[in-house]
Structure 1
Amino acid sequence: MAYTEDNAQPVLLVPEREVRQVLAPRHQASFWLKIDKRQPVTLRVSGRTAGDVRLWRNGAWLEPVQVKDASTQPRAGQPQYEWWLETTLDPGSYLLTAYGTAPKRWTEGQEDNTLSVAYAFPKAPAERSLSVTLPSWGMSAVELPPGPSALFLSRESSTQSSSRLSIHGLSAEGATNVTSSTEASCQIQSKALAPQCSAMVGGASTSRHVAILRGEPGTRLMLQWAPLPANDRFLDGTYGQGGLLRLLRRGSAHAPPSTRTLRPSEGPPGASPLWPTLYGGVL
């Protein structure tokens, strides 16, 4: 089948950035990817019409890499393609092409031909909170600050389906395995009286993680996080909605004053009402 190229001058993909455009059936959209050294690369392509995705070396030779199909249905009757390319590439120029083929049929609402192409993940803001409205493909992602973290997800709007937070590891070089490896997660049910959930991820002080938010398109979510001491472990406390987080030094009932970590009672801007309960201090 012949496809009409929508990007006469292929768009250059930039790390931590996302590109959005329309991809109609029987059209294709191409994007340049320039790699200066051998390195891990993570690319995501989402859209109702993006039925095939391929990577071409120098725009001419098909690169033998696996593009994983993680298709979703963020809203009932509105399925979406979601492709992940997680691999290591040698230096050179590559052409990523999304093909408008085998579009998924919607049985609810007006069909949307928006295409989303993302290279790696944007860094989390310094404010330790992020408010997002989920797009038509029902997901958003952000790389967290290095080290162990406690995270809260709250939903700011009503929805007919659940909302979910999943946390995935990144190697020091940035390699990912989002489609098959999850370190922590939590979920807010559609009819939850308190539309909030929490999760915790450990690791060394330099460990890297990405948080992925999923839910019904148009849902407003707020993600909040705070660092946890990398050299502590949890001995007798619980962490979760309505619970207390106790940070205890290894081998003692309570942390000595010099090492005790206290959290600001008010939390970051726009903090969840649960923040004082969970982060009021160390008991």
Structure 2
Amino acid sequence: MITLDEVPISPGCRARLAGWQAEVNKLRSYKERGAEAALKFGSRNNRKNKTFQEIRAALERMCCGARRCCYCEDSAADEVEHIAPKALFPERVFDWTNYLYACGPCNGPKNNRYSYVTPSGEMKEFIRTRAGRLMAPPKGIDALIDPRRENPLDFMQLDLAGTFCFVPIAADPVLRRRAVWTIELLDLNKPTLTRARASACFNFENALRSYAEQKLRNVTVSELEKTKLMILAQPHPTVFLEMQRSRLADPLFVDIPEARAWRFMPA
């Protein structure tokens, strides 16, 4: 996971979202707001709705590679995901900042699972029982790392030495708990992803060597820029960002120090 660069939507799109959110918020009870949020989002989140056509196009630009999931960076993203679950937070069902593009394998298991950090620093999972009264989650800090407003690599590190697993690195115990929850909730260390990251690392290494060779041969600036853009269009950008900050990858950047500062940009 990487921090997602903001892609703007039009004022008209924002106004329509705000209007739809107001329709939900005006209902008196939490139960009514939840039912209305599910109904309204389900009827409007389709490929014929012009507002969601624009939303999907903007979310796709935030994705890495060829529309890869913003969580796992591996599978194709095709679902408008609510970072804070809409079933629990109807007041954010049409909140543009609560959206990202995800794949089914990430979005499905995440579903309505939600954990929060209490004011005392304890982390709790909010579990809604079938028999219990329909209630909003308690106030607290969302445990899931939000890539639209936070840098996941401030919380965790990708092990490039062999496992290609995410490991928590934050010294603060609350931040470490949030990293653990995010990794487990999204199953970011499952074997299919660690193998894909290992392959991505191999591809990034070869691509950087190719770029260095081109630079040594004094190819044109436009050719170098084309190679750079192809590198930055690859899936698993977290692998590349971890290579940039890892001493293990130092030899790759000796002749191309500028590559240490490359950043992924919206498509």
TM-score by length of 2: 0.30
- Give the number of the structure whose residues are more often strand, by fraction: 1
Higher relative contact order, chain-length normalized (CA < 8 Å, sep 6+): 2
TM-score by length of 1: 0.29
